[in-house]
């Protein structure tokens, strides 16, 4: 809440580099959108869909994601959504499109305590904006917040690759009370991919409900490490 109030009082500055004039300057926007690519964690976790990101999670891109996700800089939502939309279009172009059918844009859910602490649902907001942009471009996309946590998980920070997989295994499900998905296929959406364990668990939960997941997209991707 305090960050939102300060945004109204103080002159805007770029969240990526601090330059005055906008929440994202042209140079940082270029850093965010210039290199959409397939960025698959190595080793690749079992069940991970084809995984694309807008940019490496470093420098200005990292600072913008952190400002949006952890510091309430919701004015960055449109910028990040634009980066993800361009990434999805690039991925679909390489794969030959989505086949012309309707598909769901599914955000990886945050824990309720995290949403309360942040005061907003960053990935859920991005899913709505990305779906709207894809529809404006003629694709039959609909946001669908049908995934939810079915048990508590530990904070992922500091966990090894193997411990992250154990921590997340079986933690997500299609929410029983959710209406059916708007399509048989799903585009998974998250802010960052590190080991891929979260996206793989989300894909597993969707597959268990009979929903295909050919693609996952994120804003940032940490550098590959073996």
Read off the pLDDT of residues 110-132 as tens digits, 9 standing for 90 and up.
877 766 666 789 999 999 999 99
Is 208 contained in some domain? yes
User: What is the DSSP pairing of strand 212-221 with strand 185-193?
Assistant: parallel
Tell me what pLDDT residue 112 has: 72
DSSP H or E run through 9 = helix 2-9
Query: What is the model's pLDDT at position 164?
Result: 57
**Is residue 9 one of the residues assigned to a domain?**
yes
Q: Where are the alpha helices (DSSP H) in 96-225?
A: 112-118, 122-136, 161-168, 197-208
56-88 confidence digits (pLDDT tens): 999 999 999 999 998 889 999 999 999 999 999
Average pLDDT score over the chain: 86
What is the share, in percent, of the chain residues with pLDDT greater than 70? 80
Element (H, E) at 63: helix 59-70
The whole-angstrom separation of Cα 144 and Cα 181 is 6
226 pLDDT higher than 50: no
Q: Is residue 54 part of a domain?
A: yes
β-bridge mates for residue 172, sequence order: 149
Confidence check: pLDDT of 103 > 80: yes
Nearest to 145 by CA among 112, 196, 179, 193: 179
- What pLDDT is recorded for position 173? 86
Report if residue 136 sits inside a domain. Answer: yes
Enclosing domain of residue 141 = 2-221
**pLDDT, position 19:** 95
Instruction: Give the pLDDT confidence score for residue 166 in this predicted structure.
Output: 52
Q: What is the CATH number of the domain that holds 176?
A: 3.40.50
- pLDDT at position 72, please? 86
9: alpha, beta or left? (left if phi > 0; alpha if psi -120 to 50): alpha
Domain count, the chain: 1
Q: Given pLDDT bands bounded at 50, 70 and 90, which one contains residue 12?
A: confident
Mean of pLDDT values over 186-192: 96
Question: How many Å apart are CA 36 and CA 54, to the nearest integer?
Answer: 4
What pLDDT is attached to residue 5? 45
Query: Does the residue 226 lie in any domain?
Result: no
């Amino acid at each position: 809440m305090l960050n939102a109030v300060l945004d109204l009082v103080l002159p805007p500055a770029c969240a990526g580099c601090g330059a005055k004039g906008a929440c994202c300057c042209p140079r940082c926007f270029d850093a965010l959108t210039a290199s959409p690519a397939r960025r698959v964690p190595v080793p690749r976790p079992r069940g991970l869909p084809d995984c694309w990101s807008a940019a490496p999670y470093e420098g200005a891109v990292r600072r913008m994601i952190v400002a949006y996700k952890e510091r309430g800089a919701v004015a960055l939502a449109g910028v990040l959504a634009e980066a993800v939309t361009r990434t999805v279009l690039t991925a679909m172009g390489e794969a030959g499109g989505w086949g012309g059918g309707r598909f769901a844009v599914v955000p990886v859910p945050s824990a309720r305590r995290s949403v309360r602490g942040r005061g907003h649902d960053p990935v859920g907001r991005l899913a709505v904006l990305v779906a709207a942009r894809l529809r404006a471009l003629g694709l039959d996309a609909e946001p669908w917040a049908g995934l939810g946590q079915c048990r508590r998980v530990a904070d992922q920070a500091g966990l090894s690759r193997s411990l992250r997989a154990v921590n997340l295994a079986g933690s997500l499900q299609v929410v029983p009370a959710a209406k059916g998905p708007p399509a048989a296929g799903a585009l998974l959406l998250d802010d960052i991919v590190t080991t891929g364990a979260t996206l793989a668990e989300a894909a597993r939960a969707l597959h268990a409900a009979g929903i295909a997941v050919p693609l996952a997209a994120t804003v940032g991707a940490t550098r590959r490490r073996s």
